């Protein structure tokens, strides 16, 4: 599940995990840091994808955003479906191992406003740096063009729409 910060990825991942009988969820916020908001790919490969690829439980060290340090290892069980959610979850380095890519169809301005309201004044400085960093990330490594499904959050239920990358079609060139 990918989309702008504040677009509802975590909420939707929780709903989907429940609908799938308790599928485990990995939040990419646990692998990112203040200094490296998008430099988590190696941690994802080593701590999560490699063990899950062998059918083993993964053990990753989640980042504590208040202490600004990685914490003790946390288990992520091997399961038929493991949900990965976070900004950049559909990046080019990760797409080959994804069964499906979902994109939260919320425009950046709305999503960022929601995220800032959620995080409050304590994270205001982070957001000032985050918005341009996210913009640069998606400009250089977009996910939405490869999404199998677009998730449009709604008041009662989200709408699920066919995405531009569904059925392996390549998106149009920019």
The model's pLDDT over 73-110, given as tens digits with 9 standing for 90+, comes to 999 999 999 999 999 999 999 999 999 999 999 999 99
**The model scores a pTM over 0.95:** no
Q: 167 pLDDT band (50/70/90 cuts)? A: low
Specify the 3-state DSSP secondary structure of 138. helix
CB 137 within 8 A of CB 89: no
Specify the 3-state DSSP secondary structure of 103. strand
What is the number of alpha carbons within 13 Å of residue 165 lying toward its C-beta? 19
H/E stretch holding 145 reads none
CB 103 within 8 A of CB 7: no
CA distance 113 to 108: 8
Residue 166 has pLDDT above 80, yes or no: no
Specify the 3-state DSSP secondary structure of 104. strand
| Overall average pLDDT of the 21-43 stretch | 95
Residue 66 has pLDDT above 90, yes or no: no
């Amino acid at each position: 599940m990918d989309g702008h910060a504040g677009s509802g990825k975590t909420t939707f991942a929780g709903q989907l995990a429940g609908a799938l009988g308790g599928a485990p969820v990995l939040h990419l916020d646990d692998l990112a840091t203040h200094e490296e908001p998008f430099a988590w790919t190696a941690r994802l490969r080593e701590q999560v994808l490699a063990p899950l690829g062998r059918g083993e439980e993964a053990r990753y060290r989640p980042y504590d955003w208040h202490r600004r340090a990685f914490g003790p290892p946390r288990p992520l069980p091997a399961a038929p479906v493991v949900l990965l959610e976070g900004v950049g979850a559909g990046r080019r380095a990760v797409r080959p191992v994804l069964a499906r890519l979902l994109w939260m169809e919320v425009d950046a301005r709305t999503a960022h406003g929601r995220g800032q309201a959620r995080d409050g004044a304590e994270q205001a400085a982070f957001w000032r740096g985050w918005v341009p960093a996210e913009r640069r990330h998606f400009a250089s490594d977009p996910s939405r063009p490869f999404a199998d499904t677009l998730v449009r959050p709604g008041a009662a239920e989200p709408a699920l729409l066919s995405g531009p990358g569904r059925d392996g079609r390549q998106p149009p060139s920019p």
